[in-house]
Amino acid sequence: MAKKGSKKPTESGEKKTGEMPKLDAKIGKRLRKELGDDRLVEMYDLMVRMRRFEEQAGRSYQMGKIKGFCHLYIGQEAVAAGSIGALKDRDYVVAGYREHAQAMARGMEENDIMAELYGKASGVSKGKGGSMHLFDVDKKFYGGWGIVGGQIPTATGVAFAAKYREEDAVCIVYMGDGTVPQGAFHESLNLASIWDLPVVYIIENNGYGMGTAVNRISAVEDMSTKAASFNMKGVRVEDAQDVFKVYETISEAVEYARKENRPTLVQLDTYRYRGHSMSDPATYRTKDEVTREQQRDPIQRFTQWLVENKIRTEDELKEIDAQAKAKAKAAAKHADGEDFPSLDALTEDVYVEWPWAFD
């Protein structure tokens, strides 16, 4: 039975209650002064658009419009918005396969991302990549990698290139908690420390590697402590559903990388509301657990903070939400009307000259 005073959950399941923990007031006050009200509202707008876009992507997948894999980010919006918000345009981003929201945070448009999910030629990867391979060189967004952990050495190489070319740029890379036991993680962090590379390794710990709880596969749940093995800084944010804490932590790590050419390992504790992918019913966790996590929903907490600090009214924030829903719906309509790549496109952007024609 719902608690007294609670309201009906939205499609994503987030609930509005009076018991929701507040965002960090001290950091919020500091960021309000540093960034200004309009920038904070832009960050809120981004998080809402991320969620509504993903909800629409989920519906499109169920309708058969999106083929293959589709890993949704719903519940983790504070991580993408807070971390990429701390970057400059000249910095680099490398992501894994749960990257739709990170691509949006980097400035990629809903229409272009949705077209890629639909496999259409106007998508950000010309319809050849799909959900796990979003890419935009102009925005320095280098994937979207489908192979678990493949993004970690790639990001290390990007950071090496930035240092070699004497760019004033930093690379951040996202990975899940299930990626950490892999050799690529340890080899990459070791080299990054030895070579003094400007890179921030971000572990998005949402509690599960596919369907396996993190405490069943890792001897330590605070994976930021592994940084000591590589003589680098390690930081853990236990409440990464607080966008202010994420922004401040990543800002400090990015500044450290920029000034000192040194890497940092950051663990951000977050939570995904949906299964590992659209084909995962997530029967490995209880309804009570999901409900408990939704009590600290990052968007609802941000809503509460903006209203309490009289930056925007509830009605104004509802209008932002309505516009986000309309954009997501329009993106799906746009993608539906676009063309699939031609057969000839199969031989474009490959490393060898293709001698055969397709019928």
Express as a percent the part of the chain with pLDDT over 90.
89
Token pair 């496109």: residue:
345
Q: Which of 253, 271, 302, 148 is nearest to 204 (CA)?
A: 271
pTM of the model: 0.93
Cα separation, 257 vs 272, whole angstroms: 29
Q: Is the pLDDT of residue 2 over 60?
A: no
Burial class of residue 259, CB neighbours in 10 A (0-12, 13-18, 19+): exposed
Please report the pLDDT score of residue 348 as a whole number. Answer: 87
Q: Which of 195, 203, 193, 168 is nearest to 263 (CA)?
A: 193
- pLDDT tier at 6 (50, 70, 90 boundaries)? very low
For residue range 10-59, what is the model confidence (pLDDT) as tens digits? 444 454 445 799 999 999 999 999 999 999 999 999 999 999 999 999 99
Q: Is the pLDDT of residue 3 over 60?
A: no
For residue range 159-194, what is the model confidence (pLDDT) as tens digits? 999 999 999 999 999 999 999 999 999 999 999 999
CA 68 to chain centre: 20
For residue range 301-312, what is the model confidence (pLDDT) as tens digits? 999 999 999 999
Please report the pLDDT score of residue 18 as a whole number. Answer: 52
Cα torsion 87, 274, 183, 142 to 10°: value is -40
For residue range 68-104, what is the model confidence (pLDDT) as tens digits? 999 999 999 999 999 999 999 999 999 999 999 999 9
What residue type is assigned to position 169 of the chain?
Answer: A
Average pLDDT over all residues of the chain: 93
Q: Check whether the bond before 129 is cis (ω within 30° of 0).
A: no
- pLDDT tier at 253 (50, 70, 90 boundaries)? very high
